[in-house]
Structure 1
Amino acid sequence: MSYEMIGLLMFTSLMIMLLTGQRVFGAVGFVAAAASLALWGNGGAEMPFNASIVLLNWYPMLTLPLFIFMGYMLSESGIANDLYKMFHVFMGPLHGGLAIGTIVLMVAISAMNGLSVAGMAIGSSIALPEMLKRGYDKRMVTGVIQAGSSLGIMVPPSIVLVLYGMIARQPVSQLWLAGVFPGLLLAVLFIGYIVIRCKLNPEMGPVLPKEERDIPSWEKFKLLGAGVLPLAIVFSVTGLFMMGVTSLVESSAVGAAAALLAAIVKKRLSREVMDNTLQQTLGVSCMFMWIILAALAYGAVFDGLGAVHAIEKLFIEDWGLSPWGVLIMMQVSYIVMGMFLDDTAMLVIVAPLYIPLIIHLGFNPIWYGVLYTVTCQIAYMTPPFGYNLFLMKAMAPKEITLVDIYSSIVPFVILMVIGLGLIMAFPEIALYLPKLYFGK
């Protein structure tokens, strides 16, 4: 059997395993271990073992549980609720102001969390009921929360970019900086859409009643204080890191400590909050570690087969694609896979093939990491099995149907595709900050 056929058989086996409902790391690890034993005999058993040693030696792995702890602590202690109350009052006088405030809230949560699920949970439980109660169009606000929460995997400290950096062997610090302007670009596109849509049709985003806006000045000033703690936490993580005061691991430790201190200051640190935070942190951290371990073993088998060279020959020599043609086809394949798989599964499956090929074709792997993440955001919101679609259905009230949820994402997916095109056409959107800070 040729190496190409072996690689195709591995890929097919993995897809079948995933379709059976097996956990991602179990399916990937099983295929990797079985293939290594079949190809190289007893010596192949060393491959997963070596991958685990590599994983344990990765110093940046320390950032994962710390950032996850920070995000869940902020969510469990209700600090995000205070932040939304501030946006509620100050953005309410505008048509669509609450929707705009929700996008800004999602950016803030993303800068404190690094996961999209936290933004989705907070947006669905806090922002969605408030906007529906005030007559906002249910399809627009449903799309706003789904699109805004997807920024969690782009804006630093993005956990997805940390995973990409570990699997692709790229510096996480540069990936974080590369995600800043693309994340803000997408947020601006979302806000621009809301402003235009509500200007054309004011009934979609009515202003707040005057009695809710006319509150005493001292109370407005007090509401502004709700933004102080989140800003301090964001600065403690990304600000100190970008200033060179803390390293990547140190910034994650500072962020976790700042989130814990914020909960104490707000007098919301209880045994229940701490138990829930630690349990969720442990569960998510272990899941990510198993996935990375399986991805390393799976990638090692592909490297041993020379599958990267086979794919390069297929794309460039047999199909006659240009390097840009190969890149576009990769992005399309991510969107298609994202309809059925989550971002970690996609990364595990294609990273061993795509990332070495991208480097060989002369593209910047940091820039490509941003393209991958934007495509994951699109995949999160595309049917039939978009991750955010099901989260929204689980969290939304009964009056929001699955048809509403599916139709709500159309304009935002179009905006994301436009944003992806801009980042592809102008790589400096992603690369300016890494070049500025690291002189490359």
Structure 2
Amino acid sequence: MSYELIALLMFSSMMLLLLTGKRVFGAIGFVAAAAALALWGEGGSEMAFSAAMKLMKWYPLLTLPMFVFMGYMLSESRIADDLYRMFHVWMGPLHGGLAIGTILLMVVISAMNGLSVAGMAIGATIALPELLRRGYDKIMVTGVIQAGSTLGILIPPSVVLVLYGMIARQPVGQLWLAGVFPGLLMATLFILYVVIRCRLQPRLGPPLDSVERAQITWGERFRLLRAGLVPLFIFLAMTGLFLMGYTSLVESSAVGALAATLAALFQGRLTRHVLEETLRKTLGITCMFMWIILAALCFGAVFDGLGAVKAIEGLFVQQMGLSPWQILVLMQMSFIIMGMFLDDTAMLVIVAPLYVPLVGALGFDLVWYGVLYTITCQMAYMTPPFGYNLFLMRAMAPPEVTLGDIYRSVGPFVVIMIITLAVVMIFPQIALWLPQWHYGVGS
């Protein structure tokens, strides 16, 4: 049996196991281990051990539990609720102001947690009922929350970029900084869409009525501003120390986790229940990602040994005669198609052994490609029929928001994501300027 056929058999076996509903790391790890033992006998058993040691020695991985802990601490202690109330009061007088405030809330939650699930949970349970109660169009605001929550995997500290960095062997610090401007660009386009839509159709986003505005005193507004700015100060202190060179990436994550805990303590919200829930959820997310990275490293090692990457490169470049940019576009299209059926981690682990080395061989920057992959994952989260965020929203939304409403809500925001992806592809420096400036690396 040729190595190409073995690689194809591995890929198809993995897809078949994933379709059975088995856990991602179990399906990928099993295929990798079985192929290694079949190809190299007892020597193949060393691959899993080697991958485990590589994972345990990867120092930047310590940022993962720290940042996840920080996000859940701010969420469980309800400090994030203060943030939404602040946006609610200050942005409410504008047409569509509460929807704009919700997007800003999602940006801050993204900068605190790094997961789309946290933003979705806060948006669906806090913002959505309030928006619906105030007469906002349910289709528009459902799309706002779904799109805003996806910013968590692009704006640092992104957990998905940690996973990509580990598999692609790229610096996590550079990947996080590369996601800043594309993430802010996308958030700005979301806000512009809401502003223009509500100006053309004011009924979609009515402002707070004059009676309610009059009941909110300036003292109350400034009190909410002070309370809502606590998470912002935590994030700015953490990133500021890192960007100024006073702390390393891991140390800045520890600063964020400690600052969030102290904020909850000083506000009298650090209860036993809050601490237990934060630790439990942090442990669950961290362990899940460590297992996925371990399985991906094993799978990638087998693929490298087979020479599958060279075979794919020869097929695209030599036999089909495609240019590097045509190959890159095909890769992104395949991510969107897979995203209709798989989540982001499954997609990355499945194709990373093929795509990442091929992208490097074609002469593209792997940090830049990490941003492209993440933006495509954001689209995949919201693409029917099986977009991850679609079903999360259905589970959390009030009964009046139907699955049909949820499906219709995502169209404009997916278009905005496609525009952002195209802009970042055409102008790579949008993603690469900040890491190059901070780290002093060449283009």
TM-score range, shorter chain: over 0.9
Aligned AA for 1:261? L
Q: Relative to structure 2, which stretch is displaced further, 192-201 or 232-241?
A: 232-241
Match of 1:146 in 2: 146
Question: Which whole-Å CA distance do the structure 2 matches of 1:299 and 1:284 have between them?
Answer: 22
Q: Does 1:343 align with 2:344?
A: yes
RMSD: 0.8
Question: Which whole-Å CA distance do the structure 2 matches of 1:17 and 1:239 have between them?
Answer: 45
For the 8 Å contact 2:100–2:194, the answer to whether it is kept is yes
Matches within 5 A, 1:22-421: 22-214=22-214, 215-421=216-422
Question: Which whole-Å CA distance do the structure 1 matches of 2:253 and 2:134 have between them?
Answer: 38
Question: Which whole-Å CA distance do the structure 1 matches of 2:242 and 2:140 have between them?
Answer: 36
Q: Relative to structure 2, which stretch is displaced further, 405-414 or 206-215?
A: 206-215
Aligned AA for 1:389? L
For structure 1, the 5+ residue unaligned runs are none
For the 8 Å contact 2:80–2:228, the answer to whether it is kept is no
Question: Which whole-Å CA distance do the structure 2 matches of 1:238 and 1:86 have between them?
Answer: 22
Kindly provide the CA deviation profile for residues 152-202 of structure 1, in whole angstroms up to 9, marking residues without a partner as x: 000011111111111110001101110000000000110010011001100
Question: Which whole-Å CA distance do the structure 2 matches of 1:174 and 1:238 have between them?
Answer: 13
For the 8 Å contact 1:156–1:238, the answer to whether it is kept is no
Question: Which whole-Å CA distance do the structure 1 matches of 2:291 and 2:439 have between them?
Answer: 31
Aligned AA for 1:192? L
Deviation, 1:438, is 1.3
For the 8 Å contact 1:198–1:204, the answer to whether it is kept is yes
For the 8 Å contact 2:24–2:292, the answer to whether it is kept is yes
How many residues are aligned here?
Answer: 440
Deviation, 1:67, is 1.1
Kindly provide the CA deviation profile for residues 336-384 of structure 1, in whole angstroms up to 9, marking residues without a partner as x: 1111111111111111111111111110001000000000000000011
Q: Relative to structure 2, which stretch is displaced further, 220-229 or 197-206?
A: 220-229
For the 8 Å contact 1:29–1:298, the answer to whether it is kept is yes
Q: Which secondary structure does the structure 2 equivalent of 1:226 belong to? A: helix
Question: Which whole-Å CA distance do the structure 1 matches of 2:131 and 2:387 have between them?
Answer: 24
Question: Which whole-Å CA distance do the structure 2 matches of 1:315 and 1:211 have between them?
Answer: 65
For the 8 Å contact 1:68–1:113, the answer to whether it is kept is yes
For the 8 Å contact 2:93–2:213, the answer to whether it is kept is yes
Aligned AA for 1:423? V
Aligned AA for 1:206? P
Q: Which secondary structure does the structure 2 equivalent of 1:122 belong to? A: helix
Match of 1:17 in 2: 17
Aligned AA for 1:154? L
Deviation, 1:237, is 2.4
Deviation, 1:211, is 2.1
Q: Relative to structure 2, which stretch is displaced further, 409-418 or 39-48?
A: 39-48
Question: Which whole-Å CA distance do the structure 2 matches of 1:184 and 1:318 have between them?
Answer: 40
Deviation, 1:64, is 1.1
Deviation, 1:115, is 0.7
Q: Which secondary structure does the structure 1 equivalent of 2:206 belong to? A: coil
Deviation, 1:212, is 2.0
Aligned AA for 1:207? P
Deviation, 1:239, is 1.8
Question: Which whole-Å CA distance do the structure 1 matches of 2:60 and 2:107 have between them?
Answer: 24
For the 8 Å contact 1:81–1:126, the answer to whether it is kept is yes
Q: Relative to structure 2, which stretch is displaced further, 2-11 or 234-243?
A: 234-243
For the 8 Å contact 1:107–1:151, the answer to whether it is kept is yes
For the 8 Å contact 1:157–1:238, the answer to whether it is kept is no
The ranges of structure 1 where at least 4 consecutive aligned residues each deviate by more than 2 angstroms after the TM superposition are none
Question: Which whole-Å CA distance do the structure 1 matches of 2:240 and 2:114 have between them?
Answer: 15
Question: Which whole-Å CA distance do the structure 2 matches of 1:30 and 1:318 have between them?
Answer: 33
Question: Which whole-Å CA distance do the structure 1 matches of 2:224 and 2:42 have between them?
Answer: 65
Question: Which whole-Å CA distance do the structure 1 matches of 2:231 and 2:212 have between them?
Answer: 24
For the 8 Å contact 1:110–1:156, the answer to whether it is kept is yes
For the 8 Å contact 1:154–1:183, the answer to whether it is kept is yes
Deviation, 1:308, is 0.5
Question: Which whole-Å CA distance do the structure 1 matches of 2:318 and 2:272 have between them?
Answer: 62
For the 8 Å contact 2:85–2:228, the answer to whether it is kept is no
For the 8 Å contact 2:83–2:229, the answer to whether it is kept is no
Question: Which whole-Å CA distance do the structure 2 matches of 1:389 and 1:36 have between them?
Answer: 37
Deviation, 1:31, is 0.2
Match of 1:426 in 2: 427
Deviation, 1:231, is 1.4
Aligned AA for 1:6? I
Q: Which secondary structure does the structure 2 equivalent of 1:112 belong to? A: helix
Q: Which secondary structure does the structure 2 equivalent of 1:71 belong to? A: helix
Kindly provide the CA deviation profile for residues 75-110 of structure 1, in whole angstroms up to 9, marking residues without a partner as x: 100011001111111111111000000000000111
Question: Which whole-Å CA distance do the structure 1 matches of 2:284 and 2:9 have between them?
Answer: 32
Q: Which secondary structure does the structure 1 equivalent of 2:126 belong to? A: helix
Deviation, 1:236, is 2.7
For the 8 Å contact 1:89–1:212, the answer to whether it is kept is no
Q: Which secondary structure does the structure 2 equivalent of 1:355 belong to? A: helix
Deviation, 1:265, is 1.6
Deviation, 1:226, is 2.0
Q: Which secondary structure does the structure 2 equivalent of 1:383 belong to? A: coil
Question: Which whole-Å CA distance do the structure 1 matches of 2:307 and 2:246 have between them?
Answer: 42
For structure 2, the 5+ residue unaligned runs are none
Question: Which whole-Å CA distance do the structure 1 matches of 2:157 and 2:204 have between them?
Answer: 33
